[in-house]
Every structure is written in C-alpha cells, then in structure tokens.
Amino acid sequence: MSNLIMEEYLYYIKDEKGLTASTLEAYTRDMEQFIQYLDNNNISDLTKVNKTIIITYLLYLQKTGKASSTISRNLASIRCFYQYLLNNDLIKEDPTLNLRSPKPEKKIPSILTKEEVNHLLSQPNTDNFKGVRDKAMLELLYATGIRVSEIVALDLDNLDLNLGYLYLKNSEDNERVVPLGSVALKYLLDYINNYRQQVLKDENQKAVFLNFSGGRLTRQGFWKIIRKYAKESKIDKNITPHTLRHSFAVHLLQNGADIKTVQKMLGHSDISTTQMYYFATDNEELMDVYKKTHPRA
C-alpha cells in the first residue's frame, strides 16, 4: 500500500507539480529517509502517521546535527506528501498542519580584529583623489557601521561636519543620528574640502562620494573598492563592506558600549538582531583569554 502511494506521489510531483530536477531529487531523498525512519520504528503505514511522529522525526534530525535549513526542507517535503494524501482523500487530516519550521541559526558574523581593521584602512594611498576618497569611505564605514546602501546614498545634507554627526532616514522616514568620530571626520573633511571638487561637474550634485565622472558612486563600485584593498591587505579573511559594519558593532560591545546604543546606531528595529554580536564578542574574548592562559596555546 505504502509503496504504491509513494509511486503515485512521485509521479504526481514529477509530471504535474512542475518541480525542478534538483527539488524533485531533494523531495524524493527526504521522503526515502523519512520512510526509513518509520521502518526503523516499526511504522509501516504512511497514512497512519500523526503529528507526534513527525515532530519526533524532526527532533531526531536535530539531534543528529542536521542544519535548520535541512530540517525545514524535510518538513516541506513531508508536508507536500501529506497534502497530496489529503487532497486525494487518502487521509482525513494533514498531520503537518500548524507545524512550523525551525528558525535558522543566527550565524556569528565574520569580523576583523582591531589590528586587521587598522591594516585594511591603511591601504589607500592618500595623495590623490581616489585614495583620499577611498580612505574617507573606509574610515566612515568603520566609524559609523552604516550599510553599503547608506554610504553610497549619502548626501552632503546628511552630514553635520561642525558637530561631527551623520543623519540618516529609513524607509519609514525615521531619523537616526550616528557620531562620525574624530578620525573619520578628519579624512572626510580632507576629501570634501580638497578633493571632491576635482571631479565635480554639476554644482547641484549632492552625493558625498563621487566617481571619476562626477556622478554618485554606485554600490557595485564600492564593492570593487573593498575587494581591491582586501586583496592588497593580504588579510586571510573574506572581507566585504558588511565586515566593517560587523567589526564596528563587536568592537563597541567589547569596549563596554550598551547594546541599545549599538542597536540605535546600526538602525536595527529588533534588538535580537543586534544581540548576535554578543556571540562574536564572547568568542573573541574567550580566544584572547585562552591564548594568554593556556600553556599549549
């Protein structure tokens, strides 16, 4: 009975549901593993499976070290199968109803040490337009933790260079204020006062960071800049613009900053998003203590 049901189901998802080959393969593999689990637990009738059995199976996957994404896909495969049974009147209730996929793990972000940040930020050659602009951007990114989209969208009106603040608005038109820091302010003033004018072609251009044509620097252009200096720095880490944002947050927390203050500067609406930086902070501190105290470190 179960074998026949599975054959009909696999035919259905292959020829009628229009799944891609990779999705079809994953769904088939997931169901084969589920059936194997049922067999190992002396459950032979797929139509008799209830919610408790499925929850127990998901917990089993978790205990065997499966990632949240894998468990979520398994649940999606099982749900697809039981919805097929329900739609064909082979069962009266869907045992996957109201079952939620596990939340994906919050990965600890990749960060740079303070020494690595200093090394990366020292790469631009500050005797020409490009070098001064790039230095100002990198210093600003690390000093404020703003996003790539925010730095390329930055207008002169967003800056208060006298007080040393950056003013940003989100999609809900809420404003957040971020201190610039003395080092970032120094290089930003140098760029704006002495170099920006070299490429400016339209006096009405409000963008802070310009390309060689006098237009606003693009997101893609900024990524190329980061990749260039990351390669030149020879730091053995995957460095992206977000790496400096992560490093900004972790270094603030390491030096005693209040998490709500960091949340406000990063522009996070939910403090749980900011809390992930505590994990990186703990790991850095643990490693530091380990290296200082363990005789074999």
CB atoms within 10 A of CB 141: 25
Candidate from 9-23, 75-89, 224-238 with smallest mean pLDDT: 9-23
The CATH superfamily holding the domain 2-87 is Tyrosine recombinase, N-terminal domain (1.10.150.130)
Which amino acid type is present at position 119? Answer: H
pLDDT recorded at residue 290: 45
Distance between CA atoms of residues 78 and 54, nearest Å: 9
Q: 292 or 287: which carries more pLDDT confidence?
A: 292
> In the CATH hierarchy, which fold is given to the domain comprising 114-293?
hpI Integrase; Chain A (1.10.443)
Beta-carbon-side half-sphere exposure of residue 278 (alpha carbons within 13 Å): 10
Task: Reply yes or no on whether the pLDDT at 272 is more than 50.
Answer: yes
pLDDT at position 292 is: 62
Looking at every residue in the chain, the average pLDDT score rounds to: 86
Other Cβ atoms less than 10 A from the Cβ of 85: the count is 18
pLDDT score of 155 more than 80: yes
Higher pLDDT, residue 59 or 101: 59
Checking if the pLDDT of 289 tops 50, the result is: no
Grouping H, G, I as helix, E, B as strand and the rest as coil, residue 213 is coil
Residues 6+ apart with CB under 8 A from 245: 141, 145, 146, 147, 266
- Determine the pLDDT at residue 122: 96
* Inter-CA distances, 44 with 38, 39, 135, 192, 289, Å: 7, 6, 66, 74, 54
pLDDT at 65: 85
pLDDT greater than 80 at residue 15: no
Q: Do domains 2-87 and 114-293 have the same CATH topology?
A: no
Lowest mean pLDDT among 109-123, 151-165, 243-257: 243-257
Q: How much is the pLDDT for 191?
A: 97
Please check whether residue 231 is in contact with residue 240, taking contact to mean a CB–CB distance below 8 angstroms.
no
The pLDDT assigned to 254 comes to: 83
Q: Which tokens in the block code for residue 90?
A: 């082979």
Q: For a pLDDT cut of 70, what percent of the chain falls above it?
A: 86
Reduced to 3 states, what is the DSSP secondary structure of residue 159? strand
> Where on the phi/psi map is residue 103: left (φ > 0), alpha (ψ -120 to 50), or beta?
beta
pLDDT at 286: 42
Between 24-38, 59-73, 97-111, 139-153, the lowest mean confidence (pLDDT) is in 97-111
Q: What is the distance between the terminal CA atoms of the chain, rounded to a whole angstrom?
A: 60
Pairing mode, if any, of strands 159-160 and 165-169?
antiparallel
Lowest pLDDT segment from 115-124, 166-175, 229-238: 166-175
Starting at the edge strand that comes first in sequence, how are the strands of the sheet with 165-169 ordered? Answer: 159-160, 165-169, 175-179
The pLDDT of residue 11 is 81
CA atoms within 13 Å, Cβ hemisphere of 286: 6
- This prediction has a pTM of 0.60
**pLDDT tens by residue, 175-203:** 888 899 899 999 999 999 999 999 999 99
Instruction: Provide the percentage of residues in the chain whose pLDDT is more than 90.
Output: 52
pLDDT digits (tens, 9 = 90+) for 105-152: 556 667 899 999 999 999 999 999 999 999 999 999 999 999 898 999
Please list, in sequence order, all residues whose beta carbon lies within 8 angstroms of the beta carbon of residue 180, skipping any fewer than 6 positions away: 140, 143, 144, 159, 161, 164, 165, 166, 188
| SS3 (DSSP) at 16 | coil
Structural element, H or E, at residue 104: none
Domain boundaries, the chain: 2-87, 114-293
> What distance in Å separates the CA atoms of residue 160 and residue 177, rounded to the nearest whole number?
10
Phi then psi for residue 241, to 5 deg, are -55, -35
